[in-house]
Amino acid sequence: MIDILGYAAMATGIVAAVLVSANLSRKITGYAFIVFTVSSVAWVAFGLLKNEPPLILQNIALTGVNLFGIYRWLIVKARTD
């Protein structure tokens, strides 16, 4: 079970990174941050199960960054500067 969680965290992180780097659209980038959030939460769970404080702390911080990305790309209207 722990291995499956680790592989799921890894796979969602890779998918999200590809989507963000492709910059296909504002909406897709926003959804990629949702996928990143799933990945970072999964890494926190994995870190808790494996007793890995650095992994836990890093991914708590990344969850905050990802939530900001969701806010920035999906909630706030795009500027038309």
pLDDT tens digit at each of 81 positions of the chain: 889 999 999 999 999 999 999 999 999 999 999 999 999 999 999 999 999 999 999 999 999 999 999 999 999 977 765
DSSP collapsed to 3 states, the chain:
CHHHHHHHHHHHHHHHHHHHHHCCCHHHHHHHHHHHHHHHHHHHHHHHHHCCHHHHHHHHHHHHHHHHHHHHHHHCCCCCC
Q: Which residue, 40, 41, 19, is CA-closest to 30?
A: 19
Sorted by where each begins, the domain ranges of the chain are: 2-75
pTM: 0.90
Res 74: pLDDT: 94
Res 12: pLDDT: 98
